[in-house]
Every structure is written in C-alpha cells, then in structure tokens.
Structure 1
Amino acid sequence: MNPAAIMLDLLRDEGVDRVFGNPGTTELPLLRELAGTSDPSYVLALQEFSAVSAADGYARGTGRPAFVSVHAVPGVSNALIGLNNARRSRTPLVVTAGQQDQRFLRDEPMLGGDLVGLASSACLSAEEIHTPGDLLPLLRRAFARVRRQPSGPAFLSIPMNLLGGDGWSDELALPARIPVPDVGAATTIDEAAAVLASAERPAILAGDRVGATGAIAELTAVAEALGATVYPQPQYEYVDADSEHPLTAPSPFFTGTEIAKALAGHDVLLVAGAAIRPQTWTADRPMPDGMRVVQLDDDPGELGRSYPVEVAMAGAIGPSLAALASALTPGSQSRRETVERRAGRTAEALVAERTAWRERARAGLSGAGPIESASAAQAVADALAPGSVVVEEAPTSGPDLRRALVQRAAGDYHNSSGNGGLGWGAGAAVGLALAHPSRPVVGFLGDGSAMFGVQGLWTAARVGAPVTYVVVDNGGYRAVSDALPPGFAGTRLGGVDWAGLAESMGLRGTRVERGEEIGPAVAAAQRSGEPSLVVVPIAGGQA
C-alpha cells in the first residue's frame, strides 16, 4: 500500500469523510487515491481561502475536525486568512500542503519554499515531514492537537516524493489514535459562587465557548439563579445565549467605550467562555474600574489575560456552569425573593426594548426611499424557514441581524467577522450545508465581505448545497466610509451585478427593490431547494 492510500485510511479512522481543497501538482499522489474512492469525497474550491472556509463551516456543523489539502507556497499563502480565522475561532482543522520534491528544494524550485514558516503564524502547530516514517505519526499528532483546547488548525507540509512512495516501507503500520482526555468541571466553583452571590447588580458575558460547546441551558440556569443580565459577547460567532429569554440583553458593540457603557451599571461580572477583543482603540477600557470579575474558560491561557480576575475557573464550560448553578441555587427565602425582584425588573426593561426595536424595524419596510439595514435584517429574519442555520458576515448590518433573529440553539447562527478575515461567509455556508443536509442554510453577507470570498458561490453550486445567500448591498465598505470624511477614496464599490454574478456561477439570482419584496424573495429561494442568491440594496455610506 502506498503512503497516500494509507494516509486516507488514517483520515477515515479519524472520522474524516470529506477533503476540502484546491489541487496542484505536488498533491498528485493523494489526488490519484481520492479519484478512486468516494470515502472521503473531495470538495473542490476555486481558491484555498474558500476551501478553508468551507472546512471551517463543516467542522462547526459536525463537531469533528475537518481536513484541508492545499498546494505548496501559493496555496498556503491563499489559505492564511482562513487559517487565522479558524485559530481565533478555535475551529479544529488539519491542513496539509504538498511540498516540492526534497531532492531539489535546495535549488529553490517554483512553488517550493518554507511552508512551515508561512503557516506557523496562523496555526497551533506546523511541521514538515522529513522521512517516510514521520507521515502517519505526525498526522495522528495533528488530529490529537486540534481535539484539545484551545483548538484551531494544525499544519503539515508533505514533500511530493514522500507522498508518492519514495523510501516507503510496507512494514509501516497505521498507528493507533492518540487519546485526548475529557476535561472536567473547574475546581473553584465554591469560590466563584460566593463572589457571584454577593452581587447586587450581577451580569454575565456569555461567550463563544458557551455556544461552541452547547452549554446555553447551563448558562441560563446560572443567570436565573442570580437574576443576572446576560450579554452575548461582542461580535459573537455562535448562539451564546437564548435571545428570547427575558434576561438576555443586546450584545454590546465592539469598541471599548461601548462595552464599558453596557457593563457600567453592574458590580459583579461572570465572564463565561468569552473573549473581549475590541476592534479599535479607545481611551475607555472595556472593563469598568472596580468591577469584580469571575472568569470561566476551558483554555487556562485566557484566564486573566486582559483584565484582573478575582476568581479564575479553568474547566469544561458546560459541567462548570452546571456545578455553578447548583452551588448558587440554595439560599434563604430572603435571597430568593431578592433574586426574583431583580430578575423581574431586568426582564421588564429588556423585553420591552427588544419588542420595540423589532417593531420599528418592521415599520421601516413600507417607507419610501432606500431600505435601512435594520429593516432589511428584520425582513430576512422573519422570512426564515423553521430550523434555518444562519451564516452571517456583514460587518455593518450584522449587528442589526443579531437583534432581529430568534436565536435559541447553539448551532443556529455562525459568524467569523470578529476575526477580521473577510470572505469567510460564502464558503462557510457550503460547509454548514454539507454538515446539516436536512436543515436550510442562509448566508447573510455584506457586498464588500462577499467579494473577498466570492469563489465560495461556485462551490455551493458544484456540490448542490441548497444555500440561500442574501447579499445586503450598500455599494461600498461602509465600516470604513463611516469613519472617514465624505468623498474619501477607496470606499465605494458599485457596479457589481450580484444576481448576474450568481447566475454565472450556477446559482439562481434575484434582486429586490422594495422592502416588502425581501421576505417573499428569501422564502421563495429557500423553498426552491437550490443554491440561490437574493440581492437586497440597502442605504449606504457616504457617496
């Protein structure tokens, strides 16, 4: 058996049923083996960033590490944005690249180069295979690494001559999987409960580790035991809290000033698997002075990384929150009444605010003139088929969509724009559609973001993924233009026929012109069961 064939055996044993990639000559031995099998199947992308993004979505949807194959120096370079996104999102990916033949690397051949050096900045680990005996053990090690927290991508560079069988021995056997032990609940539960129970105005920052691990119910139990206001973390990537729960507030905007403003009225904060990473510097630090902080994370390196922490809890998110809720629940009749009054006051204000925002957004659909972002987002949210999975990558319209959506289950929503590597959404929607074949998937993309990863539309059509893409088109980079004087160069796009572009790649393309057309167009696209794109022109930035 040649090394490429036994490599596929190892992938199957690790639960890999798809290889995401863009092929090149240095991967020919692997491609020959894949051509003769449908297990795993090969998901072709037109560009490596799209391949990594699709794999990212697939790993999120399946809960398993996804596998990506890219091509030499150009392929790794194109993949770097996606790899950086995956690292910041802790998405488990194993990525290999075909290196040039070892026998002439010293001549600096075309496509050859320091692949490990390129990948190192965006991956948890990066190694090159030097001997035939390295391939399988290092591949096993990569899978074991991404199954531990903090997760992310692990990279291997594989010289073409080794993958093709140079120096290979049939005596090399498939090594056993490397066990990864489960992590239990944190050991500082009682200390954390004591601090939280002393709060007069408690709050919880619900982070992406809550959503990624499916621990919403456990977090809700803690919130109810405290009567605490729950804020999903700024620019959250998963459903981290039940959006319809009376104690759930809107997610703070992602500047230090806005985060501090949201938290200013509280005295004790539980940071539950959350990262606070403002996009731009402000004089205001996100954590208000004097705030008592309890932090929980399954990556000990996050604890106290950016702000002082009174009690640190290192442990699995769900079990730790369940134990914390149990420790908080008992108490005196007086304490229970205090919690109930606190929760009642908080809920009344939050539910009223949520309802009023959505009513204003719906009312804006019938007005004349350009469609406002909030109204377009609400129209899309109201039109979604039951069980829809939403992939959002719209930096300026995304906050409106998050307020419009009913988000109750961890896998209902995905985002990666908080990592800054735009172009993720189109490919990620394909991966999530492959992971959830019985659920409708909607990709809500800004026009600027979508153009960075437009090749993902082609892959959606090629694999027949029934994704409905909604491109909210303001004709420019509004996140940039809003911060600049009028007429500043480099912020306007315009002239892109998104419906025509979609059709050229094999999707059904539709453009709406009025607010009342948005919902029917989205609903019709979802009912079609075909890859589709709906263009929604919205009010833009400065001209």
Structure 2
Amino acid sequence: MTTTKLPQQQDVETVAAAGLGRDVIFDYLRNAGVDQMFGVPGTNEVPIIDGTDVTSNLVSYVPCLHENIALGAAMGYARLTGKPGVVELHVTPGAGHAIGNLYNASKSHIPVVVLCGQQHSELLIQEPLLASDLVRTAEQYTKWSYEVRGPDEIGPAMQRALKVALAPPQGPVFLSIPWEFTIQPARDEGEGRVTRIAPGFIGDPAEVEKAARLLSGAPNPVIIVGDGVGAADAWAEVSALADKLVNPRIYSEPLSSFMNYNNADERWKGELPPFQDRMREVFEGCGVAFLCGFNAQAQLVVFNWARGQLIPPGVPLVYLHNDPWQLGKNFYGEAAILGDIKATLPRITALMPEPPTLDDARAEADDTRRREREQRALAVTEAASRSTDGRIPGEAVAVALRKVQDKGLAPNLTLVNEAVSDSGAFQKHLRFDRPTGYFVGQGGSLGYSMPAALGTALADGDRTVVNVVGDGSALFYPQCWWTADKLDLAILFVVLNNQAYKTLLIGLDEIGDSYGWYPTGNAGYLRLPPPPDLDFVQLAAGYGIDGEHVTAADQLEAALTRGLEQVRGSRPRSYVIEVATTADLPPREARTWFDEVVVVP
C-alpha cells in the first residue's frame, strides 16, 4: 500500500532536514570565514554558544565577563582580520552594557555583527523579564538593526547582516533573535552564502579631473588623511599624490582609529590638533585642503562659534571618500568624489603635472626628521631621569618602547592605544608597518582598548600586541585579564597611572580658556587615589597575570624587555607593567606632539 504524503507533511520533513535556526547562523558565519564568537553567557544564547562545540562549525567561543568587553574584543578581531567580528549579547542588559563599544565600532567603521538573544516571541506582549524593544536600543549606532520574526527569517537576516556590515563604508549591524527560533527547525535556501559588494569603485571622471585641477600647483597645500585612508591601506597612494604637490603638509584626523599615514615621512605632521584655535591655524593660508577619507571632522570637546569654524572660510576643499555622508558633511567642497580611495587616488595623481624634482630634498628632510626624533627622545629621557617624585612623563614610555622595538623584541607591532593624552608620543616615536598596526576606538567611549587587545591577539598570533592604557580607562574592564589568562593570550598591558583623568583636566583647561568658566572647587573627582589603594599589578595578579611596577625612567627599558620576553617567549603569556606617570598638563602650545617642547618634571 502506497501512502501519499500531504504537502504539509512534506514541508515539515524538509524543514527538519534543514536543521535548527542555530545551525543556519553557523552556516553563514562559517562561509564568511568567522572563527571566533565573543560573548557573555545568557540563558537565551546557550543554544548559540552550544553551536561552538560542534566541530564542523569551525567557530570558537570566547568567554568574557562583561558585554562591552565582548563587543570590544570583536572590534579588535575584525580590525586585524578584515572579517566580521561576531558577538552575542543577552537581552536588554546585555545590549545596554555594550552600547559604549557599539558606538566606538560605529564611529570607527568596524564590521561587527551583534546577535542578541530576545525573550520568547509569544511572551513579548506580556513584557517579560529583561525584554524590551532591542532594535530601538541599538539602531542609532548600527548600519542596520532588525528583530527576526520567525526561524525561516534567520537565513535571510544573517545574509543581509553580513553583507551590510562588510559593504563600504563598513560598520556594525544588530540582530535581535527570540531564543526559541534558534532551537526550532529553520528553512534556508541561501545555503549560507553571503553577497560581497566589490569595494573598488572608481570616482566620477569629471569630478576626478576637477580635483586634479584644484590640487595642481596650489600653494601651501594640506592633506588630511582620515580613517578611510587607513581602511583602504592607501599609504602609498597618498604619498604618490603628495609627490605631485609642492611642500604639502599631511595630517591625520584627530583620534584616528588607524595609523592613517607613514609616520616616517617628514611631510606627516601628526594628528590635527583637537582644539578649535589650533585646528584653524593648520588651515590658515592654505591654498587647498584635500580631505581624503576624512571622518572625524569635528573631533573636539570644546567649541565656541565666536572663534570661527574649524576650517576658515575661503579655503578650497577637495573631498574623496567611499562614504557619501562624509562628503561635504560640514564644509562646502569645490570637488567631492565618491569612490574607493585606493582605486581613485591614482586617477587623480595621473592627471596632475610633475612638480620640480625634489627627490634629494625629500631624502634629506626624512633624514632630518629621523635625527629630530632621536634628539627629542634623548631630551625626553634626560628630562625624565631628573624626576624626583617617582613619576615619569608618558612620552618617556613611548621612547623606551621604541628602543626595545629597535632591538627586535616587538616584531610586527600592533599598538592598541587608550593612553589618550599621550597618543601623539606613541605615534611619533614607534615604527608602524601598516595602518592596522595602530588601533584606537574613535568614538571616545572609554573602555575599548583592553577588550580590543583580546580580539587582536586572537586574530593573529604573529603580531606583538601591546596595549597602552591610562589608569582611568583600565579601571573600566580589568576583567579582561581573566579572559587573557583563561585563553593564554599573549598581550603586554602597559598601564600609565597618573592618578588622574588627564584628558579631562586638559578639556577643563580648554573650557576655561574658551568660556572663562572654572569649577567652584578643586575638582577632586578628576583625580584617582594613590597606591596602595589602587594597584594594577596586584589587581592583574588576582586574575592570574604577572607584572611589575615602574617608578623611575631608567627602569622602563628593562621592564618592557622582560614583559616582551614573556609575551614572545616559548610559553607566551600576558604581562602587566604599571608605570607611575605625571599628570602635569603640557603647555597649551605643546598640545600636539609636533611641537618640540619637553616638559621637565
């Protein structure tokens, strides 16, 4: 007797054969090359986490002790690998805890895919424990946010999420998934395949020609290299265009999340000063400004309209970016090219006439820059050696790290930086071999660097990962040391302990200068208690990480050597060095590294 199956029965069997909703998620992650998932366990996400125990899924679970750590670690992984960073979060508290680094990922254009477990879909109307409108929580800081409405939507949602995260300009996406869908049968005809939008599109030829015409022969030209340049790995292309200009000055955008240009090139003057008057000075008398991949066009805390816009009127502006939002965002552009930066820059350069031959002058200028850096390093070391209070200038740490780097103890350095008030010193003194050799969370939300260092170390074991972090930022997530120890990650953590929120003290000084307002008291809330109340080495030891204190400049090089020998040794392990640094504010005229001013303690 032959039994005829009803269509409904056939559908059920087809769905069952396709696997569970959880399996569909891993089909897409595996095909996208993702091999790490960061998160904090929650009941709703256990089925997804359990999927990392399935060998064929090829994805490992990285346990973290806070959702913002998980998000930050996914950022570091994504930045170094170029793959999506994937993080699972737990309902409303998890999404809320991760907002700081979700914001950083958005501003830094990092492709992160957030999978957030939602409560049971049929219970949501009753407003159950921990539930909320998760999409509204996340959508302001993502390229796309969505709540899946059934198990069969998981496949299309994953395909779109990965496609959107990786499409230029890259950025985070968010999927809320009611937990029961992950353990229900799910249909997916996409077979885990992800659409990849080719990023190398070339800008409009007419606009390219206009840009070349504006740039050619302009006096006192300025190039601002933003994170779009770093993301495109376009150091060489920017350099080739600069070769066609006469005496160009090249600046990075403030708080760059990449190393956006080769710091050994004498034409690079550091980051734009994050202060209104000083930023205007960069553009004064400029014949043309080329804003190339420039995202952070207003990266400062204090602004006063009475002092004028950040770029003075009358400066011709030329834009190039793969993100239309950034073109003419704040200032009118004479030419605005929408195109891939690495692919389009050579088209502009090819249309520009050759300037007078300056090869010998360039080589001499680069050599002069090298000597000036060495002289500066010597002056900083000598000044630090005269300290009598056991506190060291932050720049002395950068100088010592360069000495160790020159000995070959930090090959393939990746510096994850959150010593914000000393950023210029590390940019000036260290050697970087690629844009991703330097990482900052551009949003400015504190607590990104220690988590990002975790993801960076997992992404590429051949890199030497050094995390320099201020004491205020280190207090956000010392739980990172638990993950570092649990996974045997090899990271050198250098905590610059100046017992203060130094960047806030600088900001307060700027408010006083711009508006004449000062706190009524001594602003003791901007200071942190001295040891023994706050001991980062002891704190790290509680998580299983060894370390040491440094209170004299002549101890720095030896301490960094010991730390790197452990990080790069036969049994690589993380190490913590706490350096007692000064909280003294530099003179106002020395608030970018480019000014040759040494602060003597």
Deviation at 1:507, TM superposition (A): 1.1
Superposed, which structure 2 residues align to 1:183-198 within 5 Å? 183-187=200-204, 188-198=207-217
Q: What's 2:197 paired with?
A: 180
Task: Confirm or deny that 1:33 pairs with 2:51.
Answer: yes
Contact persistence 2:155–2:188 (CA under 8 A): no
Q: What's 1:488 paired with?
A: 523
Task: Confirm or deny that 1:18 pairs with 2:61.
Answer: no
Q: 1:265 and 1:514, CA in 2 relative to 1: closer, same or farther beyond 3 A?
A: farther
Q: Could you tell me the TM-score, scaled by structure 2's length?
A: 0.85
Counterpart of 1:98 (choices 105, 117, 122) is 117
Task: Confirm or deny that 1:401 pairs with 2:426.
Answer: yes
Structure 1 residue matching 2:197: 3-state secondary structure: coil
Superposed, which structure 2 residues align to 1:320-331 within 5 Å? 320-328=344-352, 330-331=353-354
Contact persistence 1:468–1:525 (CA under 8 A): yes
Q: 1:169 and 1:312, CA in 2 relative to 1: closer, same or farther beyond 3 A?
A: closer
> Residue type matched to 2:416 in 1?
V
Offset from partner CA, 1:135-167 (integer Å, 9 cap, x none): 1101110000011122211100000111121xx
Contact persistence 1:391–1:413 (CA under 8 A): yes
In structure 2, distance between residues paired with 1:74 and 1:83:
14
Counterpart of 2:394 (choices 373, 382, 385) is 373
Structure 2 residue matching 1:390: 3-state secondary structure: strand
Counterpart of 2:272 (choices 252, 259, 266) is 252
Q: What's 1:513 paired with?
A: 551
Deviation at 1:361, TM superposition (A): 1.9
> Residue type matched to 1:535 in 2?
E
Q: What's 2:89 paired with?
A: 70
In structure 2, distance between residues paired with 1:192 and 1:389:
34
Q: What's 1:288 paired with?
A: 312
Deviation at 1:516, TM superposition (A): 1.2
Offset from partner CA, 1:80-106 (integer Å, 9 cap, x none): 111110000000011111101112112
Task: Confirm or deny that 1:477 pairs with 2:515.
Answer: no
Counterpart of 1:391 (choices 410, 416, 426) is 416
Superposed, which structure 2 residues align to 1:437-448 within 5 Å? 437-448=461-472
Q: What's 1:157 paired with?
A: 176
In structure 2, distance between residues paired with 1:171 and 1:536:
54
Deviation at 1:408, TM superposition (A): 4.2
> Residue type matched to 2:38 in 1?
F
Offset from partner CA, 1:418-447 (integer Å, 9 cap, x none): 412100000101111111201210001011
In structure 2, distance between residues paired with 1:83 and 1:144:
18
Offset from partner CA, 1:284-315 (integer Å, 9 cap, x none): 42212211111111101110001111111111
> Residue type matched to 2:164 in 1?
R
In structure 2, distance between residues paired with 1:267 and 1:480:
35
Offset from partner CA, 1:329-370 (integer Å, 9 cap, x none): x44xxx425x67996897688667545433322322322222
Counterpart of 1:309 (choices 316, 333, 344) is 333
Structure 2 residue matching 1:42: 3-state secondary structure: strand
Offset from partner CA, 1:192-244 (integer Å, 9 cap, x none): 11110030111111111111221101111111221311112222111111111
Which consecutive residues of structure 1, in runs of 5 or more, have no partner in the other structure?
Answer: none
In structure 2, distance between residues paired with 1:171 and 1:269:
50
Superposed, which structure 2 residues align to 1:254-269 within 5 Å? 254-269=274-289
In structure 2, distance between residues paired with 1:351 and 1:31:
50
Contact persistence 1:397–1:446 (CA under 8 A): no
Contact persistence 1:208–1:237 (CA under 8 A): yes
Structure 2 residue matching 1:402: 3-state secondary structure: helix
Offset from partner CA, 1:8-31 (integer Å, 9 cap, x none): 122101211111111100112212
Contact persistence 2:24–2:188 (CA under 8 A): no
In structure 1, distance between residues paired with 2:545 and 2:231:
31
Q: Could you tell me the TM-score, scaled by structure 1's length?
A: 0.93
Deviation at 1:185, TM superposition (A): 1.9
In structure 2, distance between residues paired with 1:93 and 1:427:
14
Q: 1:352 and 1:527, CA in 2 relative to 1: closer, same or farther beyond 3 A?
A: closer
Task: Confirm or deny that 1:4 pairs with 2:47.
Answer: no
Structure 2 residue matching 1:139: 3-state secondary structure: helix
Q: What's 2:71 paired with?
A: 52
Contact persistence 1:476–1:541 (CA under 8 A): no
> Residue type matched to 2:448 in 1?
W
Q: 1:415 and 1:376, CA in 2 relative to 1: closer, same or farther beyond 3 A?
A: same
> Residue type matched to 2:58 in 1?
D
Structure 2 residue matching 1:30: 3-state secondary structure: helix
Q: 1:170 and 1:289, CA in 2 relative to 1: closer, same or farther beyond 3 A?
A: closer
In structure 1, distance between residues paired with 2:294 and 2:554:
37
Counterpart of 1:143 (choices 147, 154, 162) is 162
User: For the aligned residues, what is the CA RMSD?
Assistant: 2.2
Structure 2 residue matching 1:226: 3-state secondary structure: coil
Contact persistence 1:423–1:454 (CA under 8 A): no
Structure 2 residue matching 1:249: 3-state secondary structure: strand
Q: What's 1:212 paired with?
A: 231
Contact persistence 1:229–1:346 (CA under 8 A): no
Contact persistence 1:56–1:431 (CA under 8 A): yes
Contact persistence 1:249–1:350 (CA under 8 A): no
Superposed, which structure 2 residues align to 1:231-246 within 5 Å? 231-246=251-266
In structure 2, distance between residues paired with 1:172 and 1:477:
53
Contact persistence 2:168–2:199 (CA under 8 A): no
Deviation at 1:126, TM superposition (A): 0.8
Task: Confirm or deny that 1:434 pairs with 2:458.
Answer: yes
Aligned length: 534
> Residue type matched to 2:290 in 1?
L
Contact persistence 2:116–2:176 (CA under 8 A): yes
In structure 2, distance between residues paired with 1:361 and 1:468:
23
In structure 2, distance between residues paired with 1:444 and 1:179:
35
Give % identity: 28
Structure 2 residue matching 1:225: 3-state secondary structure: coil
Offset from partner CA, 1:99-148 (integer Å, 9 cap, x none): 01112112211111111111112111110011121111011100000111
Superposed, which structure 2 residues align to 1:122-137 within 5 Å? 122-137=141-156
Which consecutive residues of structure 2, in runs of 5 or more, have no partner in the other structure?
Answer: 1-18, 509-517, 568-572, 586-601
In structure 2, distance between residues paired with 1:226 and 1:469:
41
In structure 2, distance between residues paired with 1:116 and 1:110:
17
Task: Confirm or deny that 1:415 pairs with 2:440.
Answer: yes
Superposed, which structure 2 residues align to 1:359-370 within 5 Å? 359-369=378-388, 370=391
In structure 1, distance between residues paired with 2:365 and 2:329:
30
Structure 1 residue matching 2:579: 3-state secondary structure: strand
Deviates more, 1:58-67 or 1:364-373: 364-373
Deviation at 1:406, TM superposition (A): 2.4
